[in-house]
Amino acid sequence: MNTSETVYLGNLRTESTHIQSGSKIVTDAPVDNHGNGDFFSPTDLLATSLGCCMLTIAGRSATVHGFNVDGATVKTTKIMGTNPRRVVEIIVELTFPHNNYSDKERLIIEKSVKECPVANSLHPDLKQSISFTYKD
């Protein structure tokens, strides 16, 4: 079964439908590449996907080990390169809420997020800069 179906809407925009749920995502080319920047660009989604995957894996690992990361947030920043135009770095800033995480729990979080499937699917030349903040 397909994961998604995408249609080109014109004006450098696409609309993708997730087959299983029917949810939709619209993309737009970024302003620096002749778009309006009204929606996520495909490269924005790439960076965002990495952050979402890391939070998901942190949540899964926390559940397995008997704690939670509810309320954790992630900020992602993509850095574009040229020749060819591509994402050359994704900066991922993970912040975890006050939860009195033990050293062991922090280690579980930090090891697990680096093994998320999106991180492991990206080319090794794409730099992944990851930081962790734990609110006390």
Chain segment 44-91, per-residue pLDDT in tens: 999 999 999 999 999 999 999 999 999 999 999 999 999 999 999 999
Say if residue 25 is in the same domain as residue 75: no
DSSP state string for 61-129: HHHHTT---TT-EEEEEEEEETTTTEEEEEEEEEEE-S----HHHHHHHHHHHTT-HHHHHS-TTSEEE
pLDDT reading at 120 higher than 90: yes
- Whether 11 has a pLDDT exceeding 90, the answer reads yes
DSSP state of 12: T
Residues 128 and 70 in one domain: yes
Burial (Cβ within 10 Å: 0-12, 13-18, ≥19) of residue 59: middle
pLDDT class for 112, splitting at 50, 70, 90? very high
- Tell me: do 60 and 122 sit in the same domain: yes
pLDDT at position 123 over 90: yes
| Mean pLDDT confidence for 99-121 | 96
CATH at residue 55: 3.30.300.20
Q: Please count the structural domains in the chain.
A: 2
Integer Cα distance of 88 and 80 in angstroms: 6
Kindly state whether residues 29 and 78 are assigned to the same domain: no
Q: For residue range 23-50, what is the model confidence (pLDDT) as tens digits?
A: 999 999 999 999 999 999 999 999 999 9
- pLDDT at residue number 136: 80
pTM listed for this prediction = 0.93
| Euclidean distance between CA atoms 117 and 54, whole angstroms | 9
Look at residue 1 in the predicted model and tell me its pLDDT.
Answer: 85
pLDDT at 116: 95
* H/E segment holding residue 31: none
